[in-house]
Amino acid sequence: MKKRINMKFTLVLLLIGFMIAVQYNSLENPEKRDTRDIWAIRQELAEEKKMHVELLSEVRELDRTISSYRSLEETSAGQALKETVDKLREKAGTTDIVGPGIVIEVRPSAESVAYGIPITSISSDLLTRFVNDVNRFKGIDMEIDGKRYNILSSIRVINGYTSVNGLNVSTPPFTIKIISQTITDSEKLYNYLLASSIHDDFYLDNLVLDIHPPEEDIMIRGWPEQFENLYLNELSKGD
């Protein structure tokens, strides 16, 4: 009888101890709540939908390319492959392109000129911030001080000077060219940059952005570096 009472008492103590441990763990590690407002959540959802649309567009483009290969005769397959390579070179930024866009002049502020404040090379952080701000708009091509900027490009500090693709960016003034897919896209980018807070960041560095209205035909040069084929070898005919 005494053993049975001790066993019941022990089970009760274990149950109480387990409940205390669970309560203590919930107090120490409370469930994290999403404190964002509805607009922040909607903005994130809009970004996800935009990315989804872009991925679907790329999948459709690849499907069209595959269908064209299947429908062409063997004699025309080489031409189709060449056209695909040309498109890839254009996306990689190795070719000159002409299209609607805007020209932006980065120059010293009037106050810095009036007071004789020396202007040095634009900081890499400021230039990177500008590029990231512009890249909110998809499907654009950019040239910074005559240097093509694309996904393969880099902005670094070399020997104290800001460089793009390993080439020094000129001390202001210099120009930035941005080409969009349509003139409407260029107008949207133009209006966005006019109202952007990026102007304040440039002004703190004694620089201003002079944004010219959109134009129909702007040319930017291709990336001068050529891709080297290190692993692929052409097979002889009949292999």
- Give φ, ψ of 213 to 5 degrees: -60, 155
- 70 in a structural domain: yes
Instruction: Find the distance separating the first CA and the last CA of the chain, reported in whole Å.
Output: 91
pLDDT band at 101 (very low <50, low <70, confident <90, very high): very high
Same-domain status, 185 and 203: yes
Same-domain status, 11 and 84: no
Give residue 167's identity as a one-letter amino acid code. L
Same-domain status, 76 and 26: no
pLDDT at 186 over 60: yes
Question: Rounded distance, CA 78 to CA 72, Å?
Answer: 10
Same-domain status, 56 and 28: no
Same-domain status, 49 and 147: no
- 18 in a structural domain: yes
pTM of the model: 0.62
Instruction: Classify residue 231 by its DSSP letter.
Output: S
- 225 in a structural domain: no
Same-domain status, 74 and 167: no
Are 119 and 109 in contact by the 8 Å Cβ rule? The answer is no
Residue 1: domain span: 1-32
pLDDT at 151 over 90: no
Same-domain status, 153 and 117: yes
Same-domain status, 46 and 136: no
Helix runs in the chain, H state only: 2-28, 38-71, 74-92, 110-114, 124-134, 183-195, 198-204
pLDDT at 235 over 80: no
Structure tokens at 136: 């909110």
Structural domain tally of the chain? Answer: 3
pLDDT band at 230 (very low <50, low <70, confident <90, very high): low
Same-domain status, 74 and 109: no
- Give φ, ψ of 210 to 5 degrees: -100, 100
- 212 in a structural domain: yes
The closest of 174, 163, 162, 170 to 107, measured between CA atoms, is 174
